[in-house]
Structure 1
Amino acid sequence: MFIQGELIYLRALEPEDLEFIFLIENDVKLWEVSNTQTPYSRFLIKQYLENAHQDIYEAKQLRLVICHRETHKTLGLIDLFDYDPQNNRAGVGIVIQYEQERGKGIGTEALDLMIQYGENHLYLNQLYANISTDNKASINLFESAGFELVGIKKAWTRKGNQYKDEGLYQLIF
């Protein structure tokens, strides 16, 4: 499965993605945004990849790999999660793994491609994202794609001894 853009393409997960996913899932800096509390083993990720063939209707999620169109370098992941076919909505999340690749339009294009896919192939009515109110880069990304802040969940996530607010962003087609 390839969804083509100008800078990047999105593709389905492959067994060869094990080490890349292992790095992302075990990057402690990302645990706050992914609500992860413990490391993932290679064994668990291998099992996940073995079941990645399930379609979004079975798994209620879709994870695609973001790759550079010219070099084919794996740059990040974009997910649809909590897919609800009854109400035609899903959550969306994105991570660009390498800091030197951020701010180059990769996340913008990946999110735009996923929005188009959700609207034109899954016939979604809306997408939503949960973003910490101090994550300015993600807020800018989602707002530039047309997502609107519809509410703040107060003291929603804990980091150390502090609680952070989380914004709920929606894009209704």
Structure 2
Amino acid sequence: MVTLKGKQLFLRALEPEDIDFLYKLENDETIWQVSETQTPYSRYVLKQYLKNSYKDIYEVKQLRLAIVSHTHGLVGLIDLYDFDPKHKRAGVGIVVDTVHHSKGIGTEALELLCEFAFTHLQVHQLFAHITPDNNPSIRLFTRVGFLHTGTRKEWLFQNGTFMDELIFQKIAP
């Protein structure tokens, strides 16, 4: 049985009603550097994305789930991306609305996603790419058992300067 339910939240597929939250998040320039977004998204594009979000992870190589608090509703998104079934690995990305930071939501959502990926998708490893200045993400991924396994020197060009990119990995237990 697959369960994506925790003590304070659950993970679910995206719904058409999520459009306002998705629009707000995808157009928040403060998080563009971590999502590698360069331009705003229109509601039309996001509606098309939602319309196709039912597609299987084996087909589109990614999965985006809504993070839903039992008490506050939709509070964030968590993704598997670059899913590679042959090599049994996937990247992980997570964003939680700033008003819900420091409440354990990111930790619980990431733990649920890891369990799902390892048991249901039979992924061998998960990875995350994080900039050295993103201390909250470094703490989150470390707390959930990801290890810093490498650094790509001057890998990203942001705000007129090159930045390193840290690689974190978690191998299935």
Normalised by the length of structure 1, the TM-score is: 0.96
Q: SS at the partner of 1:3?
A: coil
Structure 1 residue 84 corresponds to structure 2 residue 116: no
Tell me the equivalent position of 2:122.
123
Task: Please provide the CA RMSD for this pair.
Answer: 1.1
* Structure 1 segment 13-162 matched on structure 2, within 5 A: 13-71=14-72, 73-97=73-97, 99-162=98-161
Task: Kindly indicate whether the alpha-carbon contact (under 8 Å) linking 1:153 and 1:166 is maintained by their aligned counterparts in 2.
Answer: yes
Q: Give distance in 2, aligned partners of 1:101 and 1:83.
A: 28
Q: Give distance in 1, aligned partners of 2:82 and 2:17.
A: 25
Q: SS at the partner of 1:168?
A: strand
Q: Give distance in 2, aligned partners of 1:2 and 1:18.
A: 25
Q: Give distance in 2, aligned partners of 1:65 and 1:151.
A: 29
Offset at residue 59 of structure 1 (A): 1.1
**Per-residue Cα deviation, 1:83-105 (whole angstroms, up to 9, x for no partner):** 000011000000002x2210110
Task: Kindly indicate whether the alpha-carbon contact (under 8 Å) linking 1:2 and 1:11 is maintained by their aligned counterparts in 2.
Answer: no
Offset at residue 70 of structure 1 (A): 3.1
Offset at residue 2 of structure 1 (A): 6.4
For structure 2, list consecutive stretches of 5 or more residues without a partner in the other structure: none
Q: Give distance in 2, aligned partners of 1:100 and 1:39.
A: 22
Offset at residue 154 of structure 1 (A): 1.1
**Per-residue Cα deviation, 1:27-49 (whole angstroms, up to 9, x for no partner):** 00010000000111111000000
Offset at residue 19 of structure 1 (A): 1.1
Task: Kindly indicate whether the alpha-carbon contact (under 8 Å) linking 1:63 and 1:79 is maintained by their aligned counterparts in 2.
Answer: yes
Task: Kindly indicate whether the alpha-carbon contact (under 8 Å) linking 1:8 and 1:66 is maintained by their aligned counterparts in 2.
Answer: yes
**Per-residue Cα deviation, 1:58-110 (whole angstroms, up to 9, x for no partner):** 11100000011134x1100000000000011000000002x221011000000
Q: Give distance in 1, aligned partners of 2:56 and 2:25.
A: 22
Q: Give distance in 2, aligned partners of 1:70 and 1:28.
A: 27
Q: Give distance in 2, aligned partners of 1:101 and 1:2.
A: 23
Task: Kindly indicate whether the alpha-carbon contact (under 8 Å) linking 1:128 and 1:169 is maintained by their aligned counterparts in 2.
Answer: yes
Offset at residue 150 of structure 1 (A): 0.9
The amino acid of 1:154's aligned partner reads K
State which drifts further: 41-50 or 154-163.
Answer: 154-163
Q: SS at the partner of 2:95?
A: strand
Tell me the equivalent position of 2:5.
4
Q: Give distance in 2, aligned partners of 1:2 and 1:151.
A: 32
Give % identity: 49
Task: Kindly indicate whether the alpha-carbon contact (under 8 Å) linking 1:64 and 1:78 is maintained by their aligned counterparts in 2.
Answer: yes
For structure 1, list consecutive stretches of 5 or more residues without a partner in the other structure: none
Q: Give distance in 2, aligned partners of 1:48 and 1:157.
A: 26
